[in-house]
Structures are given as structure tokens and as C-alpha cells.
Amino acid sequence: MARSKTSNAWLQEHVNDQYVQMAQKDGYRARAAYKLTEINDKDRLIKPGMWVADLGAAPGSWSQVAARLVGDKGRVFALDILDMAFIPGVEFIQGDFREDVVLEQYLALLDGRQVDLVICDIAPNISGNAVTDQARSMHLCELALQFAQDHLKPGGDFLVKVFQGYGYNEYMAEMRSTFTQVLTRKPKASRDRSTEMYLLGKQKKA
């Protein structure tokens, strides 16, 4: 079946994308690795020995970055509804974290300990309906924030991808009630046309 002009244009852009080329060269599974790398270079989120929760982790480029930075004494706990190939230093649970049984499996990995950092680059399956997609995205972000509120240690940080639109202001207000400081980040690796941005909650309140 012939590709549409739109998919051909996307493929051409993807092939020519400098971050796609860099990811292939550097061994990362997706260009998203450079979004986390840039934010981390600026904000120093990930340090050796940390315990990091990576929500919506597949295909695993953020887990790759986190595992490299926490080193042998740190741990990375990844979760996604999609399968994810093994990454050294990363413990992975496949499942939908909206389901209690999946969340319980994931929490069992933590063994009662709170994590130092929660990162979340999650996005819903896109339906093409902007209103529906925004609502789904915000729901996942709310679940990630709830996880951080419950399982991030006091003083810990939370990095989450959001899309500006319905529910954004309310979400930002909830972030501000949870963290000492909330910063916005738009890394260079984010495509210009994308409405995505990253919210960084610094120092969870006790």
C-alpha cells in the first residue's frame, strides 16, 4: 500500500532529524533521550545512587539515561503498558498502572521505600480527537502526580510531560501545592510544532 503524502513527509523528517541520527549513533532507543539529558544537564536531577521511578517508560530511552547516571549503586524502576526490551540496571513491570494489580506489582519492587525522583514521559494512544487526547493525557499526568505524592520522598523531584490545553492550569496548581518550586522546560529536542512541555516539581513538600 502506498504511503500518504503526510506519512512520507513524517518519514522524511524523521530520517533527517538530527536527534534521531544522534540516538542511533549513541545507542539510545529514541530521540526522547536528549530531552531528559538536556533537562538533567540544566537541573541536575539524577545523581549516583538514586532510586528513580520511570512511568510510561517504553521504549526505554529515559530509563537508559537514568540507569547510566544513577550507576551501580542506584536503581531504576520502569513501568509501561507496552513491552520494553531489557536494559541493564533497570527493573521493568509491564502493565497499565491505572490497574491496582499492576501498581501493586510495581510497588513490590520498591519494597516499601520511597524513591528520590519520578520521571514521566507518558503519552496516551492518539485518537486524532484533540479534546479526547488532551483529556487522556491529563488523566495520565494526574495519575503520575498522584504516584509522586504517595511514593516520592520529601525533598524529591518530579519531571512530567504535559500538553498545554484543557486541565493544564488546574494541574499546575496541584503541582505547586505539592512542590516547593515548579519550573517549565521546553528542551531543544522537543519538536517546535509540538505543544508538549515538561513540568519540573522541585523539592516535594513534607
What positions carry a catalytic annotation? 161
> Is residue 200 a contact partner of residue 183, using CB atoms and an 8 Å limit?
yes
H or E, element range at 176: helix 168-178
Residue list for the binding site for S-adenosyl-L-methionine: 60, 62, 80, 96, 121
φ and ψ at residue 114, rounded to 5 degrees: -85, 150
- DSSP letters of 43-97? H----TT-EEEEES-TT-HHHHHHHHHH-TT-EEEEEESS-----TTEEEEES-T
- SS3 call for 23: helix
What are 26's three cell numbers? 549513541
Can you tell me which residue has the cell 504516584? 147
* Count helices and strands in the chain by DSSP H and E runs: 7, 7
Measured distance CA(171)–CA(162) in Å, rounded: 9
